[in-house]
Amino acid sequence: MAPSGSLRIPVAVLLLLLWGALWTHGRRSDVRIITDENWRELLEGEWMIEFYAPWCPACQNLQPEWESFAEWGEDLEVNVAKVDVTEQPGLSGRFIISALPTVYHCKNGEFRRYQGPRTKKDFINFISEKEWKSIEPVSSWVGPGSVLMSSMSALFQLSMWIRTYHNYFIEDLGLPVWGSYTVFALATLLSGLLLGLCMIFVADCLCPSKRRRPQPYPSKKLLLESSQPLKKVEEEQEADEEDVSEEEPESKEGINTDFAQNAIRQRSVAPSLATDKSS
């Protein structure tokens, strides 16, 4: 009888542990999941967001504290959320995640990076005592909703898309590495050509170039009509030259007569001056 009684305690302890594990696993988490589709919910209300990766040891150590902190979310009137950067690369680029885990605080669209201790107590004090007011918010031009960060998000999503298809070409289709690179190179060239054609089409629609119509070849009738004014001009020029040639001798004769008259006057004046001096 003694051996059977001694086995009851380990079995009871094992059952309690198993029940606790099942209860913990089956209990609904208070941490909300943020994705590329619903991230704009962060712009309203107060949030604490954790960016993590399943393979990160520091993120694994933070998970129990984060779950315990999320239980206080309703009392503190704060939403506790997390983002898996391996599943949501666009949000990783949108928030410029360079280290894991990274925690952000958001209040009515203003984002602040939390850099304090990572314990449940510190998280609670950060919200209850409003310690986030002492942190400078992220500038609007690099905020998650800005055009720059939207472009960064698209770039990160494109890089993940390329990586996924690269693995698909190599592992599933059995292409060599250089074959996968060749496919992406051709796709890049074709997309560049299409983009260039679209830009040229848009530019031509917005700023159309002035096209000169080709002048028709002149007919014989037009040539004859155009030559008549030229003949008239030449005849008028010849007539003017003849008039000038006739006027030139007359002008020369007038100049000669004027010169003779001036000489006679000078001779008549010279003796009078001589008599005046002698007197």
Q: Are 80 and 48 in contact (CB under 8 A)?
A: yes
Burial of 145 (0-12, 13-18, 19+ CB in 10 A): middle
CA distance linking residue 169 with residue 179, whole number of Å = 9
Task: Show the DSSP H helices in the chain as ranges.
Answer: 2-26, 57-70, 73-76, 89-94, 120-128, 147-167, 177-206, 220-278
Residue 79: other Cβ atoms inside 10 A: 21
Q: Determine whether 59 is an active site residue.
A: yes
Report which of 170, 106, 102 is spatially closest to residue 135, judged by C-alpha positions.
Answer: 106
Upstream peptide bond of 64 is cis (omega within 30 degrees of 0): no
Q: Determine whether 205 is an active site residue.
A: no
Among residues 59, 106, 198, 207, the one annotated as catalytic is 59
Residues that are catalytic: 56, 59
